């Protein structure tokens, strides 16, 4: 039975709107996280006092200064992006909900954006200890990565050939990845997340203010607050991450014949890791200048999202979809 022309036009419009909102929402979440960092770093988190959702006893402040403008602007932008996200995820479920990746990523994105907003509100009302700020940063990265992955998965779905059986979604990953590669990918992802949490904790505890030395730590071993040892551990974690992603690159090289996309993604991950280390050196050289902090944060955001996407690509297809196309299984290495 042919699909009515009007219905096809409506469906195409809805899908085009979904793809447009996916790009806007991804950019919006990235800007929300960036504004949140500026908000904290400039000491503007209390620009509205210890009140939420009120700002200095009003919904719209009667007096303004630069800190109030930054904090109130951040809150307003969060509300706008959250609304965009809800519309985007709803449309994604309507148009692409047959794919379990779309449903799962949509739930993760909405859950973590609301959790991020809740942590921000609690931080304003009760204060922001370093552990809470580090947790907030980790949650914000998961929220951004989920939205970005949802955007990428929708683009991938639109490039799929039409399946013969339209009731079952076509496979997104027609080649099965060796479990060894999947394990090292998820281990690297977990390692990076822990490394980011430690880095955010160090930054928000102000220990990094005392870091010295571009390549090797040059603080006195007897310095107060164990700065030398904190700096040494922080840098060692960075070196460990670099070794892990290089090993991941070597594993991806053996898969490039069937999954050249994994090779390119892993190349990007290694490049981001090197840039992250260089940005860390710039941080120390600039004595924690805000531009260096923003660069450091932006690179690690892209790095984490890229590793999340790589991890998604290593997952096996659901059994119902594996029957749609012939499977090619890659040997273990």
Which of 37-51, 208-222, 293-307 has the least mean pLDDT? 208-222
**Which helix (H) or strand (E) element contains residue 312?**
helix 290-314
The Cα angle at residue 100 between residues 96 and 106, in degrees rounded to 5 = 70
d(C-alpha 200, C-alpha 296), whole Å? 11
Residue 256 is predicted with a pLDDT of: 82
The residue whose two tokens read 């939420």 is 52
Name the residue ranges covered by the structural domains of the chain.
12-160, 176-333
Q: Which one has a higher pLDDT value, 216 or 6? A: 216
What DSSP state is assigned to residue 58? B
d(C-alpha 183, C-alpha 276), whole Å? 24
Residue 168 is predicted with a pLDDT of: 61
Residue 327 is predicted with a pLDDT of: 45
The Cα angle at residue 312 between residues 248 and 331, in degrees rounded to 5 = 55
Residue 202 is predicted with a pLDDT of: 80
Q: Which residues contact 35 (CB under 8 A, 6 or more apart)?
A: 70, 73, 74, 77
Q: Which tens digit of pLDDT belongs to each residue from 148-192? A: 999 999 998 888 765 444 556 667 777 778 889 999 999 999 999
Q: Does position 137 have pLDDT exceeding 70, yes or no?
A: yes
Residue 123 is predicted with a pLDDT of: 78
Residue 328 is predicted with a pLDDT of: 45
* 271-287: average pLDDT: 90
DSSP strand E in the chain: where? 175-176, 328-329
Q: pLDDT > 70: what percent of the chain?
A: 84
Tell me the DSSP string of 201-241. Answer: HHHHTTGGGG---SSS--S-TT-GGGHHHHHHHHHHHHHHH
User: How big is the chain, counted in residues?
Assistant: 333
In CATH, which of 1.10.10, 1.20.120, 3.40.50, 2.40.10 is domain 12-160? Answer: 1.20.120
58 forms beta bridges with 55
Residue 186 has which token pair?
């998820």
Residue 85 is predicted with a pLDDT of: 95
* 303-332: average pLDDT: 71
Known catalytic membership, residue 116 = no
Pairing relationship of beta strands 328-329 and 175-176 according to DSSP bridges: parallel
Residue 290 is predicted with a pLDDT of: 84
Residue 87 has which token pair?
């519309």
Q: Does position 267 have pLDDT exceeding 90, yes or no?
A: yes
Closest to 176 in 3D by CA, of 318, 4, 320: 318
Q: Does position 321 have pLDDT exceeding 60, yes or no?
A: no
d(C-alpha 329, C-alpha 322), whole Å? 12
d(C-alpha 140, C-alpha 134), whole Å? 10
Residue 332 is predicted with a pLDDT of: 47
Q: Does position 33 have pLDDT exceeding 80, yes or no?
A: yes
* 49-72: average pLDDT: 79
Task: Report the chain's mean pLDDT, rounded to a whole number.
Answer: 82
Residue 210 is predicted with a pLDDT of: 66
Q: Which tens digit of pLDDT belongs to each residue from 100-128? A: 899 999 999 999 999 988 888 887 777 77
């Amino acid at each position: 039975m042919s699909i009515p022309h009007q219905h096809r036009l409506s469906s195409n419009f809805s899908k085009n709107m979904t793809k447009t909102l996916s790009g806007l929402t991804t950019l919006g979440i990235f800007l929300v996280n960036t504004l949140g960092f500026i908000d904290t770093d400039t000491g503007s988190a209390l620009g509205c006092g210890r009140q939420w959702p009120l700002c200095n006893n009003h919904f719209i402040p009667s007096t303004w200064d630069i800190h109030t403008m930054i904090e109130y602007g951040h809150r307003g932008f969060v509300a706008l992006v959250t609304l965009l996200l809800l519309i985007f995820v709803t449309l994604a479920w309507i148009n692409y909900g047959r794919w379990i990746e779309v449903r799962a990523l949509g739930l993760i994105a909405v859950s973590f954006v609301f959790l991020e907003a809740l942590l921000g509100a609690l931080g304003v009302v009760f204060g922001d200890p370093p552990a809470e700020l580090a947790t907030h940063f980790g949650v914000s990265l998961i929220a951004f990565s989920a939205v970005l992955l949802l955007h990428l998965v929708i683009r991938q779905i639109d490039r799929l050939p039409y399946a013969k059986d339209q009731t079952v979604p076509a496979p997104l990953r027609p080649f099965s990845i060796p479990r060894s590669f999947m394990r090292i990918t998820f281990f690297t992802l977990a390692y990076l997340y822990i490394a980011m949490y430690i880095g955010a904790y160090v930054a928000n505890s102000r220990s990094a203010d005392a870091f010295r030395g571009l390549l090797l730590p040059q603080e006195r071993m007897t310095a107060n607050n164990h700065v030398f040892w904190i700096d040494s551990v922080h840098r060692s974690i960075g070196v460990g991450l670099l070794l892990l992603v290089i090993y991941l690159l070597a594993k991806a090289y053996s898969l490039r014949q069937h999954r050249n996309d994994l090779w390119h993604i892993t190349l990007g991950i290694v490049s981001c890791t090197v840039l992250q280390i260089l940005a860390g050196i710039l941080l120390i050289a600039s004595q924690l200048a805000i531009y260096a902090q923003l660069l450091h944060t932006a690179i690690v955001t892209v790095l984490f999202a890229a590793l999340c996407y790589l991890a998604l690509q290593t997952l096996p297809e659901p059994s119902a979809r594996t029957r749609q196309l012939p499977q090619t299984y890659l040997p273990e290495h």
